[in-house]
Structure 1
Amino acid sequence: MADSIQEFTDSRQRIMNSSRFMSIDSCPMCRKRIRIDSKRQPNEFCAKKRYIGYNKDDRISELPDDIVVHILSFLTVEEAARTSVLSSRWINLWEYTTRLKLDGDEGLAKLRRQYMFRRKLIESEERKYVRRVNRVLQSHKALTLKEFRIRFALQITDHASITRWLQFAFSRQVERLEFDLQDDDNYHFPEKLVSTSVNFKSLRALIFTNVHVSKGPIEFFLRNCPLLEKLIVCYSANLSNLQVCGSSLALKHLEIVYCYHLNPLTVSAPSLTYLKAATYDRLVLENMPRLVEVDVNRTDDDVSLRGLCSALSCFSQLETLRLTLLRKEKEHNELHKLPQLHKLKTLVVTYLLDGSETLTRLADLIRASPCLQELVVECEWKRFRRKDSELKDAAINPHHHLKVVKFSGYRCQTSDLEFIQYILLNCLVLDKLIIKPFASKNDTIEMEQTARKNTKHQLESRVPPHIELIIL
Structure 2
Amino acid sequence: MESRAILATGFGPRKCAKIGQPLKDQISRLPDEILVYILSCLTLKEAARTSVLSKRWIDLWRSMACLDFDASKVVKKMFSIRSWGRYAGFVRKERRKYVEWVDKVLLQSDKSLALDYLRVAFYLDNFYGDKIHKWPQHAFARKVQRLELNLFPDDGPPSSRESYTFHYELFRLSSGKSQPGYSEIRHHSQIGFKSLRALSLKSLNVTGEVLEFFLINCPFLERLVVEASSVLINLRVCGPSIALKYLEEKGIVRELPQLTNLKEFVLIAFASKDDSLIGFTSLIRASPNLEKFVLKLESWWDDMVRGDRKLKKAASFPLQHLKVVELLGYYGRRSELELVEYFLENAIVLEKLIIDPRGPRNLKSPKTRKEKKQEKLARNCAKQQLRGLIPSHVEFSIL
Q: What TM-score does the superposition give when structure 1 sets the normalisation length? A: 0.44
Aligned to 1:150: 120
> What secondary structure does 1:243 align onto?
coil
Kindly state the Cα deviation for residue 199 of structure 1 after the two structures are TM-superposed. 2.0
Shift of 1:215: 0.9
Instruction: Render the CA deviation track for 1:346-370: whole Å, top value 9, x for unaligned.
Output: xxxxxx9839xxxxxxxxxxxxxxx
Alpha-carbon shift at residue 71 of structure 1 (Å)? 2.7
1:330 maps to which residue? 288
Deviations 1:14-52 (A, max 9, x none): xxxxxxxxxxxxxxxxxxxxxxxxxxxxxxxxxxxxxxx
**CA 1:110–1:301: 2 relative to 1, 3 Å:** closer
CA distance in 2, matches of 1:243, 1:156: 27
CA RMSD of aligned residues (A): 3.4
Q: Which has the higher contact order (CA 8 A, sep 6+)?
A: 2
Report the Cα offset of residue 87 of structure 1: 3.2
What code does the residue aligned with 1:169 have? Answer: A
Counterpart check, 1:354 vs 2:292: yes
8 A Cα contact 1:300 1:327, kept in partner: no
Q: Deviation of residue 78 (structure 1)?
A: 0.2
Q: 1:167 aligns with which of 134, 137, 141?
A: 137
Please state how far the C-alpha of 1:118 moved relative to its aligned partner: 5.9
Q: Distance in 1 between matches of 2:249 and 2:199?
A: 12
Does 1:224 find its partner at 2:213?
no
Q: Deviations over 1:294-313 (max 9, x none)?
A: xxxx84569xxxxxxxxxxx
Cα distance in 2 for residues equivalent to 1:112 and 1:247: 51
Cα shift readout 1:119-161 (whole Å, capped 9, x = no counterpart): 4443222111111111111110152110001000024612100
| 1:129 matched residue in structure 2 | 98
CA distance in 1, matches of 2:323, 2:128: 47
Match of 1:201 in 2: 194
Q: Which position in structure 2 is the counterpart of 1:456?
A: none
Asked if residue 188 in structure 1 is aligned to residue 188 in structure 2, the reply is no
C-alpha distance in 1 between matches for 2:201 and 2:287: 33
TM-score normalised by the chain length of structure 2? 0.51
Q: In structure 2, what residue type is equivalent to 1:109?
A: M
> SS at 2:201's partner residue?
strand
Residues 101 and 384 from structure 1, CA distance in 2 versus in 1: closer, same or farther, beyond 3 angstroms? farther
Letter in 2 for 1:256: E
SS in 2 for 1:69: helix
- Secondary structure of the corresponding residue to residue 166 of structure 1: helix
Q: CA deviation at 1:443?
A: 7.5
Q: Alpha-carbon deviation of 1:193? A: 1.4
**Does the CA contact (< 8 Å) of 1:111 and 1:122 recur in 2?**
no
| SS of corresponding position for 1:101 | strand
Q: List alignment gaps of at least 5 residues for structure 1.
A: 1-52, 264-278, 282-297, 303-325, 332-351, 356-382, 387-439, 445-472
Aligned-partner Cα distance in 1 for 2:286–2:194: 45
- 8 Å Cα contact 2:133/2:167 also seen in 1: yes
After TM superposition, give the deviation of residue 384 of structure 1 in Å.
8.2
Deviation at 1:251, TM superposition (A): 1.3
Q: Which amino acid aligns with 2:144?
A: V
Deviation, 1:225, is 0.6
Q: Secondary structure at the match of 1:212?
A: coil
* 1:83 aligns to 2:50 (yes or no): yes
Name the residue aligned to 1:65. 32
> CA, structure 1 residues 443+237, in 2 after alignment: closer, same or farther (shift >3 Å)?
closer
Deviations 1:80-103 (A, max 9, x none): 112223333111100110011112
CA offsets per residue over residues 293-332 of structure 1, 9 Å max, x none? xxxxx84569xxxxxxxxxxxxxxxxxxxxxxx995334x
For 1:113 and 1:241, locate their aligned partners in 2 and report how far apart those are by CA, in whole Å. 39
Contact (CA 8 Å) 1:123, 1:156: kept in 2 or not?
no
- 1:113–1:222 Cα change, 3 Å: farther
Paired with 1:156 and 1:127, the residues of 2 have a C-alpha distance of 13
Q: Residue type of the partner of 2:52?
A: V
Alpha-carbon distance in 1 for matches of 2:81, 2:139: 28
- Decide which structure has the larger Cα Rg and report it: 2
Q: Aligned pair in 2 of structure 1 residues 112, 235: CA closer, same or farther (>3 Å)? A: farther
Greater percentage in strand:
1
Percent identity, aligned pairs only?
Answer: 39
| Partner of residue 238, structure 2 | 245
Q: Does 1:258 align with 2:287?
A: no
What is the number of equivalent residue pairs in this alignment?
A: 235
- Taking the aligned partners of 1:221 and 1:353, their CA distance within structure 2 comes to 45
* The structure with more helix, counted as a fraction of residues: 2
- How far apart are residue 66 of structure 1 and its match? 1.5
In 2, are the aligned partners of 1:327 and 1:353 still within 8 Å (CA)? no
2:229 is equivalent to residue 236 of structure 1: yes
Partners of 2:211 and 2:225 lie apart in 1 by: 10
Partner Cα distance (1:113, 1:243) in 2 = 43
Gaps of 5+ in 2: 1-22, 153-157, 174-187, 263-283, 294-321, 326-359, 365-399
Is the 1:299–1:328 contact (alpha carbons within 8 Å) kept by the matching residues of 2? yes
Question: In structure 2, how many angstroms separate the alpha carbons of the residues matched to 1:88 and 1:210?
Answer: 41
Q: SS of the counterpart of 1:90?
A: coil
* Cα distance in structure 2, aligned partners of 1:141 and 1:150: 18
